[in-house]
């Protein structure tokens, strides 16, 4: 797996709405995220197929760090039970375990993270489909990091490299990344990145150039995950995504939402520019599902 190997559940549903500023009172400066809630209400519009469904997803946060994701589904008003989707464990403020209890294939996915005596992320283990995958993070300097998939745990001297990606950092941001196919310490294709105001604004390599336009609305989820993983650690874990030859999904590492994000939902935005709610509406029907219906998905963030 050459892309980012941690899973973040993101539901992207297109709808053309406008941004709305709300009148809620909140301090102008940033207040720590204390939790979030996603509510998805769906109902049938077919008279011969009565159906209402409500999915409630809660993100449990403590001290600005994500601890748990749980969900409850109500079918025609009757709860089908509460499930724990994911749980995260920390030691001395560092993320050491991320467990997905129920994945799309009904198996658990476990990620373990290991640090040295200076709290640097140096290794990881991924358990998926009953198989263990091992990763090692080597620091040539503060700015150059090797992401290596290996055959044995990160601290086993007999571990062999399966593949390597290289990243060059400027502070916590990746400014260059690429695959090291020959394991000679040289990137075979270099992806370059430029930033402004905490946002990735330009990504380019020999084959393509992408520019990204951002709103002034904060990317709440990215802020929460940066605080949970540690900003640089999250990017080290995802060096593979920055090294991939096709430059996709990288704007979601930025501090602000894309202008296109604002065109796909209705937002209520605090004066601090963090958003309080995001609402997306859609219709559905055959062939993807056997009846016609509508759904409304609302994401609400809470702050201390």
Q: For residue 235, what pLDDT is reported?
A: 97
Q: For residue 103, what pLDDT is reported?
A: 60
* Full-model pTM: 0.86
% of residues, the chain, pLDDT over 90 = 78
19-51 pLDDT tens trace? 333 323 333 345 699 999 999 999 999 988 889
% of residues, the chain, pLDDT over 70 = 88
Residue 141 in this model has a pLDDT that exceeds 50: yes
Q: For residue 247, what pLDDT is reported?
A: 82
The DSSP line for 148-207 is: EEESS-TT-TT--EEEEEEEEEETTEEEEEEE-TTSSSS-SS-EEEEEETTEEEEEE-SS
Residue 2 in this model has a pLDDT that exceeds 90: no
Q: pLDDT tier at 210 (50, 70, 90 boundaries)?
A: very high
150-187 pLDDT tens trace? 999 999 999 999 999 999 999 999 999 999 999 999 99
Structure-token match 């502070």, residue found: 171
Q: For residue 3, what pLDDT is reported?
A: 47
Residue 278 in this model has a pLDDT that exceeds 60: yes
Residue 148 in this model has a pLDDT that exceeds 50: yes
CA torsion through residues 143, 147, 153, 159, sign: negative
Give the residue, 103 or 203, on which the prediction is more confident. Answer: 203
Spatial CB neighbours of 114, under 8 Å, sequence gap ≥ 6: 96, 121, 122, 123, 124, 125, 154, 155
How far apart CA 221 and CA 245 sit, in angstroms, is 26
Residue 279 in this model has a pLDDT that exceeds 90: yes
CB 223 within 8 A of CB 33: yes
Give the residue, 271 or 24, on which the prediction is more confident. Answer: 271
Q: pLDDT tier at 10 (50, 70, 90 boundaries)?
A: very low
How far apart CA 123 and CA 60 sit, in angstroms, is 26
């Amino acid at each position: 797996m050459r892309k980012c190997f941690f899973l973040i559940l993101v539901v992207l549903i297109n709808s053309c709405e406008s941004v709305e500023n709300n009148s809620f009172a909140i301090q102008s400066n940033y207040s720590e995220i204390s939790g979030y809630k996603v509510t998805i209400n769906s109902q049938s519009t077919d008279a011969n197929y009565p159906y209402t469904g409500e999915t409630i997803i809660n993100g449990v946060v403590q001290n600005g760090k994500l601890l748990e994701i749980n969900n409850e589904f109500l079918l025609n008003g009757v709860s089908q039970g509460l499930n724990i989707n994911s749980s995260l464990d920390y030691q001395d403020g560092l993320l050491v375990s991320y467990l997905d209890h129920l994945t799309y294939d009904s198996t658990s996915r476990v990620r373990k993270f290991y640090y040295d005596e200076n709290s640097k992320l140096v290794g990881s283990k991924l358990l998926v489909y009953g198989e263990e995958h091992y990763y090692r993070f080597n620091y040539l300097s503060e700015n150059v990091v090797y992401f290596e998939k290996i055959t044995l745990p990160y601290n086993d001297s007999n571990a062999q490299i399966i593949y390597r990606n290289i990243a060059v950092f400027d502070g916590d941001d990746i400014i260059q990344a690429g695959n090291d196919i020959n394991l000679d310490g040289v990137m075979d294709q270099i992806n370059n990145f430029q930033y402004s105001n905490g946002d990735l604004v330009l990504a380019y390599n020999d084959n393509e150039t992408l520019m990204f336009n951002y709103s002034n609305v904060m990317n709440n989820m990215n802020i929460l995950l940066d605080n949970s993983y540690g900003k640089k650690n999250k990017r080290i874990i995802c060096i593979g995504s920055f090294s991939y030859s096709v430059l996709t999904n990288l704007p979601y590492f930025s501090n602000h939402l894309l202008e296109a994000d604002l065109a796909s939902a209705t937002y209520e935005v605090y004066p601090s520019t963090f958003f309080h709610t995001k609402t997306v509406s859609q219709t559905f029907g055959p062939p993807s599902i056997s009846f016609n219906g509508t759904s409304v998905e609302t994401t609400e963030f809470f702050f201390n």
